[in-house]
């Protein structure tokens, strides 16, 4: 299968489809323009898929992924770094996100009490399992990372949207396919694309391999009515060339990622388009 570096154009095409052809739907938190079943793909060797038709907060993406990878669910750790993307979903819970992404990635199946408890050695460390499989059994079909755990969703501030990642090794390169059940296309999806690409780069670096392809499969893709005019502004813009990513961090099982260990180079972009986050 041929892949190209036009994920941003694929993203803009999806945004335009929601603007022009999707019908409004009433949901739990707002009116949305929704469409079901989409796929975006790119070759990570062609560049890093951070949107250029608006400025994207890359440091926030790195800090959130680092938070996931260390298994944390304490939103105050993000707030201390001036990253506020989880605030609205957790401010009434004392900034305890519950057993969300990081807990499932690092401690799947462990008993969750609160964000300040210690869970070292408890549950299944899915990240470590994937690293070991890539290194020792690179043709395995079991390199799957799952955040979907129905038994504890009642404890979560928000059920996970990007719920599974499958990794694949070919020609000494790591590829990833992510499934996203729900995508806030204007605000959330640009973060999700870049975060998944970054995770793939980090796992490839950790295992001594290159990067291959990235695919994102989306179930419910939706545009909030509050973002309609901002989305219309964005689709009129022309994408710029992709930036590149460089990391030279110490291999530690991806436990202690620091923002300064990931360097984004040659990021050219249009201006910021502000929009209200819908929780």
Which residue among 115, 161, 176, 217 is the active-site one? 161
Contact 102, 161 (CB under 8 A): no
Question: Rounded to whole angstroms, how far apart are CA atoms 55 and 274?
Answer: 10
Dihedral, 93, 94, 100, 105 alpha carbons, nearest 10: -160
Task: For residue 161, indicate whether it is catalytic.
Answer: yes
Going through the chain in order, the beta strands assigned E by DSSP cover 23-26, 31-43, 144-146, 162-170, 173-184, 210-224, 244-247, 262-265
225 secondary structure, DSSP code: G
Sheet holding 31-43, edge to edge: 23-26, 31-43, 210-224, 173-184, 162-170, 144-146
Q: Give residues with Cβ within 8 angstroms of 54, minimum separation 6.
A: 190, 234, 237, 269, 270, 271, 272, 273
Structure tokens at 257: 């990622």
- In 3D space, the residue among 201, 172, 225, 170 whose CA is nearest the CA of residue 30 turns out to be 225
User: Which secondary structure element, helix H or strand E, spans residue 64, and what is its range?
Assistant: helix 58-69
The helix/strand/coil state of 91 is helix
Catalytic residues: 161
């Amino acid at each position: 299968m041929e892949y190209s570096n036009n994920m941003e154009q694929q993203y803009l095409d999806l945004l335009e489809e929601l603007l022009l052809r999707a019908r409004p739907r009433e949901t739990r938190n707002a009116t949305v323009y929704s469409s079901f079943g989409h796929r975006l793909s790119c070759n990570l060797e062609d560049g890093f898929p951070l949107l250029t038709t608006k400025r994207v907060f890359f440091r926030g993406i790195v800090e959130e992924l680092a938070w996931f990878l260390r298994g944390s669910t304490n939103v105050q750790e993000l707030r201390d770094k001036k990253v506020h993307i989880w605030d609205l979903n957790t401010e009434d819970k004392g900034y305890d996100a519950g057993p969300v992404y990081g807990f499932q990635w690092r401690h799947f199946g462990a008993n969750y009490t609160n964000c300040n408890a210690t869970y070292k050695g408890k549950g299944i460390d899915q990240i470590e399992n994937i690293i070991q499989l890539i290194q020792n059994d690179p043709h395995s079909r079991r390199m799957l990372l799952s955040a979907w755990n129905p038994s504890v969703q009642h404890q979560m501030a928000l059920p996970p949207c990007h719920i599974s990642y499958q990794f694949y090794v070919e020609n000494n390169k790591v590829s990833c396919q992510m499934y996203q059940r729900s995508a806030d296309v204007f605000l959330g999806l640009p973060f999700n694309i870049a975060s998944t690409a970054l995770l793939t780069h980090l796992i490839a670096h950790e295992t001594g391999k290159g990067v291959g392809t990235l695919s994102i499969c989306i179930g419910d893709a939706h545009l909030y009515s509050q973002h309609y005019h901002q989305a219309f502004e964005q689709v009129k813009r022309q994408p710029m060339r992709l930036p590149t990513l460089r990391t030279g961090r110490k291999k530690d099982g991806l436990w202690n990622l620091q923002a300064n260990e990931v360097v984004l180079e040659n990021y050219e972009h249009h201006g910021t388009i502000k929009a209200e986050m819908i929780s």
